[in-house]
Amino acid sequence: MPTLICGSLAFDTITTFDGRFAEHILPDKVHILNISFLVPTMRREFGGCAGNIAYSLALLGGEPIILGALGADGQSYLDRLDALHIPRTHIGLLPDSFTAQAHIITDRDNNQITSFHPGAMGRAHELPVPLDAGIKLAIIAPDGRSAMIDHAAE
């Protein structure tokens, strides 16, 4: 049964800092914070709520159909979906945006500092819900606010 998954598609850049944030961030000086961390390990993952749900559903033998937005840098994400045999027919490629990105630094104590750029996700509401795809079930996963409201209404 085809399942529509409306939600975010993102790249997750995950790095590791060998020290402790607490040794570099002084609580009484956070109002004047300028800091840089050397992160010797880094990996990039395909993420986003719709992407993660679609991947898991496909592993379970389901038929995920993603409705989400990628930016001009999204070709590697599309290639990954092709390799996994997950259809990409309802993924919008927005050439004037970056794909949503999360950058995560984890320290020795498993504390994390994360920055997030919504990029193309912020325009996912421009993508219409496919009404002719034989969809019987839909999931509204975290995405841009307008996209979640619009896609639920459609």
The answer to whether the CB of 92 falls within 8 A of the CB of 68 is yes
For residue range 30-52, list pLDDT tens digits in order: 888 899 999 999 999 999 999 99
Sign of CA dihedral 83, 90, 52, 55: negative
Question: Residue 60: which domain range?
Answer: 2-153
Q: Which two tokens stand for residue 40?
A: 């010797």
Using CA atoms, how far residue 79 sits from 53, 85, 107, in Å, is 17, 10, 32
- Structural domain count, the chain: 1
Q: For 14-43, b where at least 16 C-beta lie within 10 A, e where not — what string?
A: bbebeeebeeeeeeeeeeeeeeeeebeeee
CATH number, domain of 117, equals: 3.40.1190.20
For residue range 74-129, list pLDDT tens digits in order: 999 999 999 999 999 999 999 999 999 999 999 999 999 999 999 999 999 999 99
The Cα 75–Cα 70 span in angstroms is 8
